[in-house]
Amino acid sequence: MVFPPPADFHGSYAPEDVCFLLKQVSLTPTDVATKERLIQTGQAHYSTMLSAEHPPEAPYLELFHDALRRNGDRLARDLAALARTLAAQAGREIVIASLARAGTPVGVLLVRALRALGLESTHYSLSIIRDRGLDPVALDHILARHSAADVVFLDGWTGKGSIAGELEASIARYNAARGTRLLPKLAVVVDLAGVAEIAVTAEDYLIPSSILNAVVSGLVSRTLLEESLVLPGDFHACVYYAHLAPHDLSRHFVDVLSPKVASHLAGADPVDWSLARRAELRTTAEAFIARVGREFQVADRHRIKPGIGESTRALLRRVPDCLLIADTAAQDLLHLGLLAKQKQVLVHYVPDLPYRATAIIREVREDG
């Protein structure tokens, strides 16, 4: 029998808040333009490369703090409702398996809330990679210690639903290979695509942690699956950005919001995320992706990034072609406007968008 590897990596969080089921590695950064070209021409998978991460500049950082002041209480209320929903379905314990890295800060807050309700809860953060799936070694580690029925997968939001589809497909493969009965039970705060089993809202609002990368996610990079770094029996990999420690806001974010979440627990009710609502959202999402494809001549749906969270990721980490926004004066979109200005990205005002924002990745051809 092959036993799961030991795990004692907590990033910059307190050990009781999360255990990252990730292997720490070193990797030479790839510049954004080169990375984009290699991804789109099929010469490399995105999970084999990382671009360098730098401390956020002061004007952008102020927008994060402003979002935390404006939307922190709303996120706290939503997380209290999510905690109540999971508590109503709880068995012996609740095992939160957050999807690194956007799910991690949300997972820290949620597991603290569950414990405040008197429930036994453990929080792991593991890798899921589009076209590659969930890390099976991380799943082995979890199921060696917990019942499959107690595991809930967690993310901050959904965009098109690609990761939810990847979750379902990879768990089906894992169960077939291991003879287990793990369920692809996905919980999120904001479900734009109607693909989560549990969600609080479909309203596209700014989750403050989505503005930043590693400095609000335990100083952990996006996850990697590069064969020279991830050997058989290893967890998927990550880089720990120790050089960003002076700028780290990971504990600040969760410590500011935890008391707010706790204050809303008494008045929170479980959420009924109905199948009918999910079906309606899926129809809207698919129609929107098709519309953007037609109107902006985008053949590859992976180049379309709907919602504030996905648009932010695209402008921070990719080579965007344009940004669509529904409201030119919305405070929740100020950081996107700043990023678009810095990267000289064209902004289109589209008042009938079903979401507050959508980014489109620039098409890169092999001949440049």
Distances in whole angstroms, Cα of residue 272 to Cα of each of 83, 100, 194, 278, 354 = 13, 26, 13, 11, 22
Note the pLDDT tens digit of each residue in 30-47. 999 999 999 999 999 999
Please give the average per-residue pLDDT across 231-253, as a whole number: 97
Q: Are residues 211 and 349 in the same domain?
A: no
Distances in whole angstroms, Cα of residue 182 to Cα of each of 20, 29, 265, 278 = 20, 36, 29, 22
Q: Are residues 103 and 35 in the same domain?
A: yes
**Quick check: 367 pLDDT over 90?**
no
**Structural domains in the chain (count):** 2
Domain with residue 309: its CATH number is 3.30.1330.30
Residue that is last in its domain, among 199, 231, 265: 265
Residue with tokens 């079903």: 354
Measured CA to CA, the distance from residue 172 to residue 181 in angstroms comes to 9
User: What is the share, in percent, of the chain residues with pLDDT greater than 70?
Assistant: 98
Task: Specify if 40 maps to a domain.
Answer: yes
Q: Tell me which amino acid residue 197 is.
A: E
Q: How confident is the model at residue 1 (pLDDT cuts 50, 70, 90)?
A: very low
Tell me: cis bond preceding 303? Omega within 30 of 0 counts. Answer: no
Mean pLDDT of the chain: 95
Q: Are residues 138 and 260 in the same domain?
A: yes
Angle between helix 103-116 and 58-88 (nearest 10)? 50
Q: Are residues 99 and 117 in the same domain?
A: yes
User: What are the tokens at 149?
Assistant: 């029925």
Note the pLDDT tens digit of each residue in 273-289. 999 999 999 999 999 99
Residue that is last in its domain, among 241, 265, 289: 265
Q: How confident is the model at residue 344 (pLDDT cuts 50, 70, 90)?
A: very high
Question: Residue 325: which of 338, 337, 342, 339 has the closest Cα?
Answer: 337
**Quick check: 366 pLDDT over 90?**
no
**Quick check: 199 pLDDT over 80?**
yes
Query: What 3-state class would DSSP assign to 97?
Result: strand
Q: Are residues 200 and 220 in the same domain?
A: yes
Note the pLDDT tens digit of each residue in 149-161. 999 999 999 999 9
pTM of the model: 0.95
Cβ–Cβ < 8 Å for 102, 81? no
Task: Specify if 235 maps to a domain.
Answer: yes
Residue 212, domain extent: 19-265
User: What are the tokens at 122?
Assistant: 């453990």
Q: Are residues 259 and 308 in the same domain?
A: no
Q: Are residues 356 and 289 in the same domain?
A: yes
